[in-house]
Amino acid sequence: MIIPYSESQKALLVEEVGQLSLELNRPVSSKDLLARWEAHPESRPALLQSPGQLLLKAARPLKGDNPVLSQVGIIGNLAFYADDDSPHWRERFRLHELRCRALRHVQWNIPTQALFLLSTNHENLALNALAGFLAEWGKDKDSEALPDDFATLWEVAVANVTHPFCGRCPVLVPRKAAARMILDEVERRHPFFEGGLNINRHLARMVWPQSPLFSEEGYWLAQIEHYCTSMWPDDTDDPMIAKAVWLCKVYGDVKR
């Protein structure tokens, strides 16, 4: 039975968000709410809407209704909510966003990737990436939000940096041009590619800005070219070098 989204259901949703945000000590997303309902299915409202739709309705109600939740911020495609918009929840969201970004950097491991490129024709790019990493994380390197593995990245960058960060933004193109390039590269490299291609996933990975040191939006075709080489290498390609190059390009272009 589908229960109407009544005021009582809104109240239960707000109560659940409030409890979950206290447990996690941060604002919550639809992903957090779904995980809670999977662990405690009895608490899930019998509604057709997704958790994201329910949270959005509570924060942005129809005309005449008062919002009962506050959208504190967005990370990627996930919005985060709390029962109020207080400085406390904004700070907790900032720390969570910082941790999410740091975890991505632990996965990328750009300082170590840059070491692959030293003594190659990409050395200037690598040195700029080391400097960019330090510029991005300098003020937050001791934050409680950072994972333990992050300290190793910092040490590698400090030990090997020799040049200042140049902060040069490359020429960026629109999404359509980036999508066309990825599709063309896949067709060229794997003309009999089967299984479908989730182009949106690759575009989400390549969209700029990829570092808060930049504000420009778009796609860098030279970076995408190396990304495609790392994902779908030819027999003559070195996918490890290609991966190191596209990751170091997170910190922009360098003069040759």
How far, in Å, CA of 129 to CA of 191, rounded? 34
Looking at residue 180, its pLDDT comes to: 94
The pLDDT value recorded for residue 135 is 96
String of b and e for 109-123 (b: at least 16 CB within 10 Å)?
bbbebbbbbeeeebe
Backbone phi, then psi, for 70, in 5-degree steps?
-115, 130
The rounded distance, in Å, linking the Cα atoms of 34 and 45 is 11
- pLDDT at position 189: 80
What is the pLDDT, as a whole number, of residue 40? 83
Q: Which among 136, 151, 112 is positioned nearest to 243, based on CA atoms? A: 112
Task: Give the separation between CA 36 and CA 20, rounded to whole angstroms.
Answer: 8
Each domain of the chain, given as residue ranges in start order, spans: 7-85, 99-251
pLDDT of residue 3: 43
Would you give per-residue pLDDT tens digits along the chain (256 residues)? 344 456 666 777 788 888 999 999 999 999 998 898 888 887 777 666 788 888 887 777 656 566 678 899 999 889 999 988 899 999 999 999 999 999 999 999 999 999 999 999 999 999 999 999 999 999 998 998 999 999 999 999 999 999 899 999 999 999 999 999 999 998 888 766 655 678 899 999 999 999 999 999 999 999 999 999 999 988 888 999 999 999 999 999 997 5
Inter-CA distances, 155 with 81, 85, 103, 211, 221, Å: 35, 37, 16, 19, 31
Strand partners, 73: 80
* 128 contacts 254 by C-beta, under 8 angstroms: yes
How many angstroms separate the CA atoms of 240 and 103, rounded?
Answer: 21
Residue 78 burial class via C-beta count within 10 angstroms: exposed 0-12, middle 13-18, buried 19 and up: middle
Q: What is the per-residue pLDDT for 193?
A: 61
